[in-house]
Structure 1
Amino acid sequence: MESSFIIKSLSGLHARPAAMLVQKANSFPCDISLVKGDKKVNAKSIMSILALGIEANEKIVVITQGEKEAEAMQAIGEFLET
């Protein structure tokens, strides 16, 4: 599955929200990736997420693949948009 989301947090995905995203991603057995521009990273790795430098109001593509991918997409999407 693949969906786009706009980051609503005014501070983007800095350390604390990135850690929360990794924790949420790790609660699902499927593969979860984030794509920003031409960079694709594992959403279960905090260093990878921080390396993207995601700012407020940026568009991020989330890709889920595997068991419980729909549930993961919904949970990650809700997190990114709040």
Structure 2
Amino acid sequence: MMERSFTIIDEAGIHARPASILVQTVSKFSADVNLEFKGKKVNLKSILGVMSLGIPEGAEINISASGEDEAEAIQTITEVLKKEKLAK
């Protein structure tokens, strides 16, 4: 299993558009990918799960992946979060 922590820098937090981008990105991988915020963990392949967390600007999140392509999944998520200026 691989994990990575991020700080959300988008002033709107993780709202519908970035949540959709993340879900679409992660859905390409076979690994199980989870997003954790304030002790709640959801499947990052579920738009409803991600939206239910209500992640604001400044939030510390943790993304974990386990499975065959976990390293590639974490790397791709990191690139998308930085490219979209969502997290650092």
**Shared fold (TM-score greater than 0.5)?**
yes
| Percent sequence identity over aligned pairs | 46
Structure 1: gaps of 5 or more residues: none
User: Does residue 80 of the first structure (1) align with residue 81 of the second (2)?
Assistant: yes
Superposed counterparts of 1:17-36, under 5 Å: 17-36=18-37
Structure 2 counterpart SS, 1:60? strand
Q: Which runs of 5+ in 2 are unaligned?
A: none
Aligned-residue offset at 1:62: 0.3
SS in 1 for 2:6: strand
**Distance in structure 2 (CA, Å) of the matches to 1:6 and 1:66:** 24
Normalising by structure 2, report the TM-score: 0.87
Q: Counterpart of 1:56?
A: 57
2:4 and 2:16 mapped to 1: Cα distance? 23
Corresponding residue pairs, total: 82
Question: Any idea what SS the aligned residue of 2:36 has?
Answer: strand
- Following superposition, the deviation at residue 79 of structure 1 comes to 2.2
- 1:7 corresponds in structure 2 to 8
